[in-house]
């Protein structure tokens, strides 16, 4: 990563760069949620106000600045990106039977699974209305393809739950699909709006993809070390039998007795109060967190490198800083 002597921005400084646009995006979000059905507005407001930093729409706003886009069409598209993301969170929490997100009670825990699924569907529908209103066939193709890819990634992940034979390749396919595809789309659409050349649009897409992978790798590491700032408790993935890279690394390196432990706890979900402690000890023994974070740093570096075609600017520094922030959440 070309970070020697470079001073990166923190999240508050990045938000300040696009603060006016973010306010407009929030207004579009509120307007498109509406109040015709109170349950929709109540549940949507709950999850949208539950501590997220609007990273994905910020990427669209920042890459639009990077491309010197002068119009306003990036604003509803940034709102579209947030609707897609929020819809996937609602569905995710139902599938995972989650009780907390960012330290706050999940929508499904408060409002129930049926309501959460239906409001998630509503937000997906709203996102497509915003896509179509833009009028660009290519943007519609990029965003609809991302939505489809996310769904495929979610289904693929569901098939690997409790499966200790899940490979690194399958895991990388999952996070590329369910996380990185929306980051890539959020970046690429700015190049389309600004009518940039293919190499520029490809660079933006690559930036988003690499950033998304770095972000998810770090998230999966955080599950085994915790983060008070992010409201993450240690071991949620373990308790659900979810296969992520730290576990895959351990299983690859484990002896026969340790493999039996992982099969009992992950595949059979036969866990005692002591098993999480043993899992953490094995993860430490095989340096699984360090290896996961090292890979995350590699992808963050590749994200920054993808921006090399752009001249230095405030927006470029902000996007580079997001890559740093993605992997530094473990510190």
Sign of CA dihedral 71, 74, 77, 78: negative
Hey, what CATH class is 11-320 in? mainly alpha
Find the length of the chain: 331
Structural domain boundaries in the chain: 11-320
Give the span between the Cα atoms of 101 and 136, in whole angstroms.
Answer: 35
pLDDT band at 147 (very low <50, low <70, confident <90, very high): very high
Give pLDDT tens digits for 26-35: 999 999 988 7
Give pLDDT tens digits for 178-229: 999 999 999 999 999 999 999 999 999 999 999 999 999 999 999 998 765 5
Give the span between the Cα atoms of 76 and 127, in whole angstroms.
Answer: 9
Whole-number pLDDT of residue 228: 55
Beta carbons of 59 and 186 less than 8 angstroms apart: yes
Residue 201's CB: how many other CB atoms inside 10 A?
21
**C-alpha to C-alpha distances, 250 to 170, 199, 279, nearest whole angstrom:** 16, 39, 9
Give the span between the Cα atoms of 309 and 205, in whole angstroms.
Answer: 13
Query: Strands, DSSP E only, in 102-171?
Result: 104-105
Give pLDDT tens digits for 40-97: 888 888 877 765 789 999 999 999 999 999 999 999 999 999 999 999 988 888 887 7
Would you say residue 115 has pLDDT above 60? yes
Whole-number pLDDT of residue 69: 97
Higher pLDDT, 84 or 234: 84
Whole-number pLDDT of residue 188: 98
Give the span between the Cα atoms of 120 and 114, in whole angstroms.
Answer: 10
Would you say residue 165 has pLDDT above 70? yes
Give the span between the Cα atoms of 78 and 55, in whole angstroms.
Answer: 10
Q: Which of 7-21, 216-230, 248-262 has the lowest mean pLDDT?
A: 216-230
Q: Which residues fall within 8 angstroms of residue 237, CB to CB, at 6 or more apart?
A: 220, 223, 224, 244, 247
């Amino acid at each position: 990563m070309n970070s020697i002597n470079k001073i990166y921005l923190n999240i508050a400084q990045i938000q300040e760069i696009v603060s006016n646009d973010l306010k407009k995006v929030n207004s579009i979000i509120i307007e498109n949620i509406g109040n015709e059905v109170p349950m929709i507005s109540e549940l949507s407001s709950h999850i949208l106000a539950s501590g997220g930093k609007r990273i994905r729409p910020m990427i669209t706003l920042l890459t639009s600045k990077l491309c010197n886009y002068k119009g306003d069409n990036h604003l509803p598209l940034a709102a579209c990106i947030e609707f897609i993301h929020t819809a996937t969170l609602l569905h995710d929490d139902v599938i995972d039977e989650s009780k907390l997100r960012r330290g706050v009670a999940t929508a499904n825990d408060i409002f129930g699974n049926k309501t959460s699924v239906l409001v998630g569907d509503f937000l997906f529908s709203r996102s497509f209305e915003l896509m179509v209103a833009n009028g660009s066939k290519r943007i519609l193709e990029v965003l609809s393809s991302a939505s489809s890819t996310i769904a495929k990634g979610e289904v693929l992940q569901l098939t690997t739950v409790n499966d200790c034979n899940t490979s690194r390749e399958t895991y990388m396919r999952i996070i590329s699909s369910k996380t990185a595809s929306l980051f890539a789309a959020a970046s690429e659409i700015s190049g389309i709006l600004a009518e940039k050349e293919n190499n520029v649009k490809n660079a933006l897409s690559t930036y988003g993809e690499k950033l998304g992978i770095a972000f998810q790798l770090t998230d999966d590491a955080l599950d085994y070390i915790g983060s008070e700032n992010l409201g993450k408790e240690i071991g949620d993935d373990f308790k659900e039998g979810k296969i992520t890279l730290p576990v895959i690394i351990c299983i690859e390196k484990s002896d026969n007795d340790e493999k039996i432990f992982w099969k009992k706890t992950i595949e059979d979900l036969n866990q005692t109060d002591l098993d999480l402690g043993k899992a953490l000890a094995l993860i430490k023994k095989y340096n699984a967190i360090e290896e996961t974070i090292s890979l995350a740093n590699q992808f963050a570096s590749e994200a920054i490198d993808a921006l090399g075609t752009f001249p230095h600017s405030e927006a470029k520094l902000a996007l580079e800083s997001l890559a740093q922030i993605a992997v530094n959440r473990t510190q």
